[in-house]
Amino acid sequence: MLIKQLSVFLENRLGRFSQIAKIFSEAGINMKAFTVSENAEFGVLHLIVSDPEKACALLREKSFAATLNDVICLQCPDVPGALEVALAAITEAGISIEYMYAFAQGSTASVIIRPNDLDKCIEVLSENKFKTLTQEGLNSI
């Protein structure tokens, strides 16, 4: 199961993130999670939002370099060491993770994973009985 992540290229310019936040709040788009991958000169902002298609179109309209891509949303079982087991299974299968970030909603914790091989990663997780969220599942939380 995959969900849509919104990625936005940002030069290291102050204020760009607050512009994005403003655009979303005016359009009634809910930001569930975000993180930034960056190097010395630029960054890519990753966002999980309530309506990714609409959010992407809005940002592009305003000349933001926004794209949509698939990521895995792993629903973390409330058991100690569960994430460790999941990551070990992924690594053992020879899959590498580009980046990952976590967020909590109520009592549920979710981990966004961007592996180099999405299909294989999904396969490994389901074989190991881990639960991944669909877009609908995510929005209904």
Partner 1 sequence: MTMYWNKKVECMSREEMRRLQSERLVKMVEHVYNDSTYYRKRMDECGVKPQDIRSIDDISKLPFTTKQDLRDNYPFGLFCVPMEDIVRLHASSGTTGKPIVAGYTKDDLAMWSEVVARSLMAAGVSKDDIMQVSYGYGLFTGGLGAHDGGTLIGASIVPTSSGNTEKQITLMRDFGSTVLACTPSYALYIADSIKKSGFDIKDFKLRVGIFGAEPWTDAMRRDIEEKLNIKAFDIYGLTEMCGPGVGCECECQNGTHLWEDHFYPEIIDPVTLQPLPPGEKGELVFTNLTKWGMPMIRYRTRDLTTLHYETCECGRTAVRMSKILGRSDDMLIIRGVNVFPSTIESIILEFPECEPYYMIEVDRVNNTDTFDIQVEVKPEYYTDRITELAALKKRITARVQSVVGISPNIKIVEPNTIERSMGKAKHAIDHRKFE
Binding-site ranges for partner 1 (CB under 8 A)? 5, 7, 9-11, 13, 37-39, 41-44, 46, 60, 63-67, 69, 98, 114
Shortest Å distance, C-beta 60 to partner 1? 7
Shortest Å distance, C-beta 42 to partner 1? 6
Token pair belonging to 4: 């849509």
Q: Looking at residue 29, what DSSP letter applies?
A: P
Nearer to partner 1, 1 or 71 (CB): 71
Listed in sequence order, the residues at least 6 apart from 120 whose beta carbon sits closer than 8 Å to its beta carbon are 93, 95
Shortest Å distance, C-beta 77 to partner 1? 27
Token pair belonging to 19: 């512009």
- CA 117, CA 119: separation in Å to the nearest integer? 6
Q: Give how far the C-alpha of residue 46 lies from the chain's centroid of Cα atoms, to the nearest Å.
A: 6
